Homo-oligomer: A and B are copies of this chain.
Amino acid sequence: MQGLLAHQQCSDCPIRHRAVCARCETDELAQMEQIKYYRSYQAGQTIIWSGDRMEFVGSVVTGIATLAQTMEDGRRQMVGLLLPSDFVGRPGRDTAAFDVTATTDVMMCCFRKKPFEAMMAATPHIAQRLLEMTLDELDAAREWMLLLGRKTAREKIASLIAIIARREAALQVRRAKGMLTVDLPLTREEMADYLGLTLETVSRQISALKKDGVIIVEGNRHVSIPDLDRLLEEAGDDNDGGMLV
């Protein structure tokens, strides 16, 4: 798989139309192709340490990574979930502000920072797309601030499941009227780190939502949603906003 991807043409890339290169013309893409390289990480591996010098920036091609911050005493807060097409790194800054960790096996499309910055200066399409993506992330981060600051544990869990479900619903061609179904890409502890809770509270609230029939849980990771509106109500979202990074 990785061997195949490593020689893949950008034109065949699964994230071609969503990543930072989405707006590039054929010739621009050819230039990108020159400076890119693939790199893969195993589940659990740290991709970037906070404070490290960043030699590269890049896009998540496959897999899921997390962006997190840790205090000296070990308290930990996830501040972003990186899905395929999401951008990692920050042009114009040379030390990383957050830890980036692979949650599943991850394949990244990387660019050494300097050449990328040079290309960005020369290619408005890249800067434009990156601006668009960054604005989306900022909106998502602000939605998340409401969750962290004001929602109850139950609402937080419902929100997380709703966000993941919404994303799945957008991707998977609507499976003929079947109940909406998601696989949680995170352990209880990772959910806790994301939601500003403890893993025990996460577990308890999932059990409570299950008992109340809001969700149906099979195994640890598989969740079905009989009534999405009910779930959204539990999440405390009136509006239909609230997409994830």
Contact = CB atoms under 8 A, between A and B. Distances in A.
Interface of A: 51, 67, 69, 71-73, 75-77, 79-80, 90, 92-93, 97-98, 121, 124, 127-128, 130-132, 134-135, 137-139, 141-146, 148-150, 195-196, 236, 238-239, 241
B134 A79 contact: no
18 contacts: A67-B142, A69-B142, A69-B146, A72-B236, A73-B236, A79-B145, A97-B142, A124-B124, A124-B127, A127-B131, A134-B134, A134-B138, A137-B138, A141-B142, A141-B145, A144-B145, A145-B145, A149-B196
A143 B236 CA distance: 24
Q: How many copies does the complex hold?
A: 2
Interface centre among A80, A137, A143, A146 (most CB of B within 10 A): A146
B144 A72 contact: no
A145 B71 CA distance: 13
Contacts of A72: 236, 238
Contacts of A51: 239
Contact of A150 (B76, B80, B131, B142): B76
Contacts of A80: 142
Nearest to A67: B142
Contacts of A148: 145, 148-149, 196
